[in-house]
Structure 1
Amino acid sequence: MKEFFFTYQYQIIYTIITLLVLWFFQFGLKKAAQRVGHKSEIHITRTRLMFKYINILIVLIASFLLALAWGVGVGDLALLFSSVFAVIGVALFAIWSILSNITAGIILFFSFPYKIGSKIKIHDKDMPIEAIIEDIKAFHLHLRTMDGELITYPNNLILQKAVSLIEKEHYYDEGKDAL
């Protein structure tokens, strides 16, 4: 055991430092997302979704840095990441709507002017919708019409359509003070 620590002491120190720096970076990103969510009165479930995205980013960065520290060559990492991204690229091209909805969900988190509980009207010539925003998920919005009908509306479409605010009153305030 002693031999292991002496043999790999630089890698172990680099690993500890990298994990600590990334932990502080993750903490800072989560605090920033929490501040934006609290300041903009964004529902806690949407803020937690951003936390998941931050965790995925940190894990990818940590994997790359620790692989370099423990002797995996840059050429090997480049081959691995290019292969993985090629497979992911083909898969995402096949299911591009999922990627566009996730991207739209991130954009909605930071710049969507309507909140959960807002009564909105979506100006669509084929099917205009007047409803209350019940929930905002990673892929879609849950809208409740005045007739009680639940509509799931894709995030990428809400960014493409004109939307007007009818009432700003919050009908669903649960979890607002959970920060």
Structure 2
Amino acid sequence: MFFETYKNELIISGIILASLFIIRLISYFTITKVAKKNNINIARVRLMKRYVTVSLLLLAVLIEAFVFGAEFKDLAVIFSSVFAILGIALFAIWSILSNVTSGIIMFFNFPYKVGDKIEIHDKDFPIKAIIEDIRAFQLHLKLENGDLVTYPNNLMLQKAVTLIQKDAIDDISSDDGSDSV
């Protein structure tokens, strides 16, 4: 009885879900291709793929609500309430969102790689370091004295940065005689 009543909606749902699945595969392929071309860390690739999956899942829920008869005014009330609560919560953690957004931007357009020696031109805290890891929220930088510094992604995009040496991580590990970084 259920299948007969909602036959058209189920067919449309199948087409929508198949389309979003194909979009997900194309996105994954594109992310993987960009990552290989730019020699990007596999952990960052997984993070970008998770962002795509969550975005497509939210889009699927919205589209399915319309397919099964929800009206715009009903969804508008729900989404405005949810976004009001999220807006208040996210205002409190805007810095985290800024760093995540910067992490996404850095995935697709960032001239520096893990192992590069860089200089960050900050008048209060100038840094010369080697990039050890690029994460969702921050970079891990190894200073010349061996200290590890975490530097927020949003500041990395706001400050002037100079590339001193590509793949300097190999030089440090060979200088101190150890194989670990």
What's the offset of the Cα at 1:170?
A: 5.8
Question: 1:7 aligns to what?
Answer: 5
CA–CA separation in structure 1 for the residues paired with 2:84 and 2:144: 46
After TM superposition, list the pairs within 5 Å mapping 1:119-158 onto structure 2: 119-158=117-156
What is the CA distance between 1:145 and its match in structure 2? 1.2
Q: Which residue of 2 aligns with 1:74?
A: 72
Distance in 1 between the 2:131 and 2:152 partners? 13
Structure 1 residues 170 and 57, CA gap change in structure 2 (3 angstroms): farther
- Runs (5+) with no aligned partner, structure 2: 171-181
Q: Distance in 2 between matches of 1:46 and 1:171?
A: 19
Paired with 1:7 and 1:69, the residues of 2 have a C-alpha distance of: 13
Which residue does 2:43 correspond to in 1?
45
SS at match of 1:153: strand
**Runs of 4+, deviation exceeding 4 Å:** none
Is 1:94 aligned to residue 92 of structure 2? yes
- Higher RCO (C-alpha under 8 Å, 6+ residues apart): 1
Deviation at 1:40, TM superposition (A): 1.4
* 1:78 CA displacement: 1.3
Q: Counterpart of 1:78 in structure 2: which amino acid?
A: A
Cα deviation for residue 64 of structure 1 reads 0.3
Contact 1:116 1:170 in 2 (8 A): no
Q: Which residue of 2 aligns with 1:19?
A: 17
Please tell me the root mean square deviation across aligned C-alpha atoms, in Å: 1.3
Percent of aligned positions that are identical = 52
Aligned residues: 170
The normalised TM-score by structure 2 is 0.89
Residue 54 (structure 2) aligns with = 56
Q: Structure 2: how far apart are the matches of 1:62 and 1:170?
A: 45
- In the TM superposition, what is the alpha-carbon distance from 1:146 to its structure 2 partner? 2.1
CA 170–24 in structure 1, closer or farther in 2 if over 3 Å, else same: farther
SS of the aligned residue for 1:126 comes to coil
Q: Write out per-residue CA displacement over residues 94-119 of structure 1, whole angstroms, 9 at most, x where no aligned residue.
A: 21111111111111111110001111
| Matched ranges for 1:29-40 at <5 A | 29-40=27-38
* Equivalent residues of 2:114, 2:167 under 8 A apart: no
Amino acid at match of 1:101: N
TM-score by length of 1: 0.90
1:112-165, CA deviations, whole angstroms, 9 ceiling, x for partnerless residues? 100011111111111111111111111100111122211110001111111111
